[in-house]
Structure 1
Amino acid sequence: MAPSLIFVVCLFTILTVTMIEVSASGVFELRFDRFQNELGRDVKGHCCDGFKASPSSSNGGAGGRCSEACRTQFRVCLKHYQTSIDLSGACTYGDFSTPVLGENSLDFTAANSSSSFVKASNASGYTVRLPFEFSWPGTFSLIIEAYHQTSNTTTTTTGKVLVMQMATQRWMDSSNEWKADSFSDTDGLHSLNYSYRVKCDEHYYGDGCANLCRPRDDKFGHYTCSEPSGDKVCLPGWSGEYCSKAICLPGCHDDHGFCNEPNECLCKLGWQGKLCDQCIRYPGCLHGSCQQPWQCYCNEGWGGLFCNQDLNYCTNHKPCKNGGTCFNTGQGSYTCTCPAEYTGTDCELVKDDCTVIPCLNGGTCSGETNATCNCPTGFHGRRCETSTQQTCTDNPCLHGATCVDTTDRGYMCLCPDGFDGANCGHQVDDCAVNRCQNGGSCVDKVNGFKCICPAGFTGPLCQTDIDDCQTDNPCLNGGSCADLVNSFRCLCVPGFTGSLCQTNVDDCLTKPCSNGGQCHDLVNDYRCTCKPGFAGKDCSHEVNECSTRPCLNGGTCLDRINEYKCVCPRGYSGLRCERSAQKQNSTAPTVLGSASRLSNIASDASLSVAQIVMIATISTAVPLIAIISCLVIVCLKKRRQKEQMRSDEEARRQNEQNVVHSISKKMDKMDKCLEEHRIINTLDFPSSKGKSINEPEYTVVQTKDTSSPHQQQQQQQQQQYNIHRTSKALNVETFNSDKLVNSSSCQSKEVISSCEPTYVTLDKRLSVTPSVTCSSSPR
């Protein structure tokens, strides 16, 4: 159990320390364009295979072309930025080895694609892809090696001869554009043309491929992603940080309305209308209004809880006809005072009497009851009071129209602008064809219209976009303002970001300072405070401490990081070889010289602070956990030993008690047996029994046994005790096989003897050696 526990604890510690969340994703792509090795030589100038031909003018006298061609394959190693590239170290960002691609000189632009290479869609060469899952730092170290494969297979990793080797440091942010580069060795035997780029994976953006943006159009957001920064761009009709807030119908009440989809207006409880600006009255309210939901304020002339009681019946209903006068007499009641010629409750009945209702305009009355008037031509009505053809004297024209008398129709109205109809009573709708632009609302007016413009537009027809940048420039830090619809966008100068260009971009986020340098952010720039021994814009240049020639007396200076070493000639010593051996009895050993006298270096320049902390944590935690586990195991063993000792002691005491009890029972049985074999003296008492002269002597030997309880019981029953007797020479009688023997001189009698091992049952946990007891011979 304890070793398993140690393994689980160690595994959990390692996983906890080394677990890193993937927050970026991309791929480094290297494209081979052309490789030249015309003479078929390796890196040492030897032939890959075969022998060198004789120099000739055709090959430039370079020692001759080799008789056999090289079988060329490549290895690509990508690692973190190092001032001095370690060619044998691990490829921290990835590596890849190709199969054999051809012979001496290769033109990849004309090759066909293979399974180990990916044909670039926008390039003519072959591309090796090295994916990564971290924020791309920009700087990197690249190693490209060409090998001659000596075996017949194309994928073996053994039997390789180095043909060419190059190592370089570069800086490159993520981009879809290829950057061309080349290499040629010092002797001119080998050259390589290649291109590279850093490309972000799908949905990853930014210089380091660390900005994750996945376009979506669902309940969690409605946006696309901009290039190349990966900022979220809301779809039309949506707003908010994640574009999840819908833009409601223009005019929708801010407090009483809401929307789940763009350009809709859903009313909250208690409100109604297209723009949710009308309150809902109390249920059952008939003649009332409301200012807030569920209210019922009665209109004039009405009362009651539901405003259904008429307090002014005459005004609201006007029940009296034919010019009758109405008088309210209570809630819902009234009386009508009728003109002379009318009668009835509501003055609805005409008095049919020509004396009461005389005919006008020359009309004649006929009938005594239910009399009627016979009207002359040009008049009509019950009393011939209405002229058939109106004239301008009747003022029929409305809205200030000019009236002209005519012979055929009686009159004609000349309408002003904005009105039409026989009497100019109809107003022309100038909004029948909406001429308002950009979503403006048209309001009809007399002989014209008015456009109510949405936010961001102005003008008679809402045709002008309001320039939100016209007033004081809202953009800070020299940013330029770009006008949008009812909004604006700031175009920031390099070094600033934010909606108003208010944020200074931290140029130290990419960690540009190498070799442990400390970065200080500036405006669109940075400044590195280098550690001793390094200099340059990004601390990538190692200071040569030997440039001042500090070594004296012909000493050789060896440059190191922030220090130097003087190798003194014979006869000199000291930090700078300044001491002569002739002046001293002993030669001092060569020492290191340094301006800062550094005794040791904390870590290699290629290691980051996070890696150093992780290594220190693991190297401290693992031994500590092992020591704690060992202590726990030792404590558990000691505890078990104590419990075992207590158990053994208890078993030993119990065994001793059992032995004593068993011996006691055996002794009782033996006493009875000896009583039956008493010695009788026949000299003085011939006919009577005498006292036993020779008392038996008993020897009981007990031993321990390690057997089961059942075996112990059987052994106890089979135990024998050796009894040793000594008798004197007397005239005795003895019973032997039912026969009395009378002897004047008694020799030693045969006694019961045994030479078998004697066992006494003990606890099986005790290891005991059995003892053997033999009876003595007769005396």
Structure 2
Amino acid sequence: MEGFLFVWCATKVEIKFVSYINPTSEDYNGGCCDGVFGNCGNKCDNRFYFCLDTPGSSSDFDQCPLGSINMGEVYANNDDFTFPVGAGAAGGIDNPYIFTMTTFTNGIRIKGIVHDNDGGNGDDQIDQYKHNIYFTPARTSSQSTWASVTITGRRSSLDIQVRGYCTTYYYGSTCSVFCRARDDTTGHYSCSSSGGKICLSGWQGTSCNQDVNECLSSPCVNGATCANGLNRFTCTCALGFYGTTCASELNECSSNPCQNGGTCQDVINGYTCSCTLDWSGNRCQTNIDECSSTPCLNSATCNDLIGGFQPS
């Protein structure tokens, strides 16, 4: 079965009525609106009815799935005029006229009837229109452009402009892609120019509501352990290391632990001191006892000194 594919969407359509002309001031069957047949000196009092439908649809003026426009008399005794613009300006109708389509195919179909607004003459039909207008809606109203269209009937012609654009949160050539940026328990994402979801940092999945395990990339080094969190990770460093990923080694020599001229060498989680000949200990804090080797002879007493001894 052939036909149009309808999808849920939200498209704003604007119709701007520009101008109208009935050069002969005749009705649909060739008679005069107000005057003697064959000498239509008086102009028509034009009022309009428009039925909005989908392109290629029924010609029935009662089939108006997109709505209808009942425009009262715009000007009396005038068959060549420009429509006024503004709220309620065109026969009680806003011009431009704006409506929303919840389904969109490839445009709209305008079916129109023009009558002479003259109760004494039975409101004769002046003309009728059936015209398909094809367009692709823009992303926003500021990006949309007007398309000029001339609709010609048997006696008259009508100039209008049409434009369409997606409403807020809708994207795509048919405004059928919905995307509303959010950062809550439902999802964490922004929207691309086509309406695709772009997950915020730390999130993944179709709705961007699955926490990314940042530990899977092994960010922690030097033997550190990794703990995953919401959009973050925490490294517990091994002794001797520090930093976000434990990539930095602690310099235990920075506090000058070696005493008495000792030289400090940094090692992982510690240090070593190279002492001078006169000192010992892990920090060179102990004076070497030169008397321990009993250097004094003949019953002399040994007195330990810094870097030596003295007999007495």
Same-fold call, TM cutoff 0.5? yes
Structure exhibiting the larger radius of gyration computed from Cα positions: 1
| Unaligned stretches of 5+ residues in structure 1 | 1-21, 53-62, 119-125, 153-158, 279-297, 301-313, 326-335, 357-368, 370-779
Distance 2:202 2:36 in 1: 75
Aligned partners of 2:226 and 2:233 also within 8 Å: no
| Deviation of 1:265 (Å) | 4.7
* Mapping 1:322-401, distance limit 5 Å: 322=288, 324=290, 337=293, 343=303, 356=311
Q: Which of 144, 154, 162 does residue 112 from structure 2 map onto?
A: 144
| Deviation of 1:199 (Å) | 2.0
Question: What is residue 160 of structure 2 aligned with on the other side?
Answer: 194
CA pair 204-198 structure 1, distance change in 2 beyond 3 A: same
* Mapping 1:643-658, distance limit 5 Å: none
Distance 2:270 2:153 in 1: 102
Does 2:80 align with 1:114?
no
Distance 1:177 1:342 in 2: 108
Which whole-Å deviations, capped at 9, do the CAs of 1:625-669 have from their partners, x for residues lacking one?
Answer: xxxxxxxxxxxxxxxxxxxxxxxxxxxxxxxxxxxxxxxxxxxxx
| Deviation of 1:139 (Å) | 5.3
Distance 2:295 2:39 in 1: 142
| Deviation of 1:66 (Å) | 3.2
> Could you say what secondary structure the match of 1:27 adopts?
strand
Distance 1:32 1:72 in 2: 14
Distance 1:338 1:196 in 2: 114
| Deviation of 1:324 (Å) | 4.6
> Could you say what secondary structure the match of 1:24 adopts?
strand
CA pair 192-342 structure 1, distance change in 2 beyond 3 A: farther
| Deviation of 1:243 (Å) | 5.4
Q: Which amino acid aligns with 2:179?
A: C
CA pair 276-200 structure 1, distance change in 2 beyond 3 A: same
Which whole-Å deviations, capped at 9, do the CAs of 1:466-503 have from their partners, x for residues lacking one?
Answer: xxxxxxxxxxxxxxxxxxxxxxxxxxxxxxxxxxxxxx
Distance 2:289 2:39 in 1: 135
Q: Which of 41, 63, 71 does residue 66 from structure 1 map onto?
A: 41
Question: What is residue 244 of structure 2 aligned with on the other side?
Answer: 275
| Deviation of 1:24 (Å) | 1.7
Does 2:21 align with 1:48?
no
Does 2:105 align with 1:131?
no
| Deviation of 1:191 (Å) | 1.1
| Unaligned stretches of 5+ residues in structure 2 | 1-6, 139-143, 248-268, 272-279
Q: Hey, which bits of structure 1, 4+ residues long, moved more than 6 A?
A: 246-251, 268-272, 347-350
Distance 1:266 1:257 in 2: 5
Q: Which amino acid aligns with 1:104?
A: D
% identity of equivalent residues:
19
Q: Which amino acid aligns with 1:240?
A: Q
RMSD, matched Cα: 4.3
Does 2:210 align with 1:240?
no
Question: What is residue 80 of structure 1 aligned with on the other side?
Answer: 54
Distance 1:93 1:106 in 2: 27
Q: Which amino acid aligns with 1:231?
A: G
> Could you say what secondary structure the match of 1:256 adopts?
strand
* Mapping 1:216-227, distance limit 5 Å: 216-218=182-184, 220-227=186-193
Distance 1:45 1:28 in 2: 35
Aligned partners of 2:19 and 2:82 also within 8 Å: yes
* Mapping 1:228-267, distance limit 5 Å: 229-233=194-198, 237=201, 240-241=204-205, 242=207, 252-253=219-220, 256-258=226-228, 260=230, 265-267=233-235
Question: What is residue 167 of structure 1 aligned with on the other side?
Answer: 130
Distance 2:80 2:192 in 1: 44
* Mapping 1:560-599, distance limit 5 Å: none
CA pair 226-105 structure 1, distance change in 2 beyond 3 A: farther
Question: What is residue 209 of structure 1 aligned with on the other side?
Answer: 175
Distance 1:169 1:91 in 2: 14
| Deviation of 1:93 (Å) | 2.3
Which whole-Å deviations, capped at 9, do the CAs of 1:570-601 have from their partners, x for residues lacking one?
Answer: xxxxxxxxxxxxxxxxxxxxxxxxxxxxxxxx
Q: Which amino acid aligns with 1:130?
A: F
Aligned partners of 1:40 and 1:47 also within 8 Å: yes
Question: What is residue 431 of structure 1 aligned with on the other side?
Answer: none
Question: What is residue 94 of structure 1 aligned with on the other side?
Answer: 67
Query: TM-score scaled to structure 1, two decimals?
Result: 0.28
CA pair 170-114 structure 1, distance change in 2 beyond 3 A: closer
Distance 1:145 1:339 in 2: 132
| Deviation of 1:194 (Å) | 1.6
| Deviation of 1:185 (Å) | 3.0
Aligned partners of 2:59 and 2:111 also within 8 Å: no
Question: What is residue 251 of structure 2 aligned with on the other side?
Answer: none
Does 2:79 align with 1:104?
yes
Q: Which amino acid aligns with 2:16?
A: R
Q: Which piece of structure 1 moves more, 69-78 or 202-211?
A: 69-78
Distance 2:308 2:286 in 1: 13
Q: Which amino acid aligns with 2:74?
A: L
Distance 2:131 2:51 in 1: 11
Does 2:12 align with 1:37?
no
| Deviation of 1:213 (Å) | 1.1
CA pair 338-160 structure 1, distance change in 2 beyond 3 A: farther
Which whole-Å deviations, capped at 9, do the CAs of 1:426-461 have from their partners, x for residues lacking one?
Answer: xxxxxxxxxxxxxxxxxxxxxxxxxxxxxxxxxxxx
* Mapping 1:552-631, distance limit 5 Å: none
| Deviation of 1:74 (Å) | 2.1
| Deviation of 1:218 (Å) | 4.8
Distance 2:294 2:101 in 1: 103
Higher relative contact order (CA 8 A, sep 6+): 2
Q: Which amino acid aligns with 2:195?
A: G
Q: Which has the higher helix share?
A: 1
| Deviation of 1:137 (Å) | 1.7
Aligned partners of 2:290 and 2:308 also within 8 Å: no
| Deviation of 1:165 (Å) | 0.7
* Mapping 1:400-411, distance limit 5 Å: none
Question: What is residue 179 of structure 1 aligned with on the other side?
Answer: 147
Q: State how many pairs are aligned.
A: 255
Aligned partners of 2:166 and 2:175 also within 8 Å: yes
Question: What is residue 741 of structure 1 aligned with on the other side?
Answer: none
Distance 2:117 2:55 in 1: 30
> Could you say what secondary structure the match of 2:136 adopts?
coil
* Mapping 1:364-513, distance limit 5 Å: none
| Deviation of 1:339 (Å) | 6.2
Question: What is residue 277 of structure 2 aligned with on the other side?
Answer: none
Which whole-Å deviations, capped at 9, do the CAs of 1:81-103 have from their partners, x for residues lacking one?
Answer: 446x3324421222221232223
Distance 2:74 2:213 in 1: 60
| Deviation of 1:140 (Å) | 4.4
Distance 1:96 1:224 in 2: 39
Q: Which amino acid aligns with 2:150?
A: S
Which whole-Å deviations, capped at 9, do the CAs of 1:718-759 have from their partners, x for residues lacking one?
Answer: xxxxxxxxxxxxxxxxxxxxxxxxxxxxxxxxxxxxxxxxxx
Which whole-Å deviations, capped at 9, do the CAs of 1:343-364 have from their partners, x for residues lacking one?
Answer: 46xx77975x5xx4xxxxxxxx
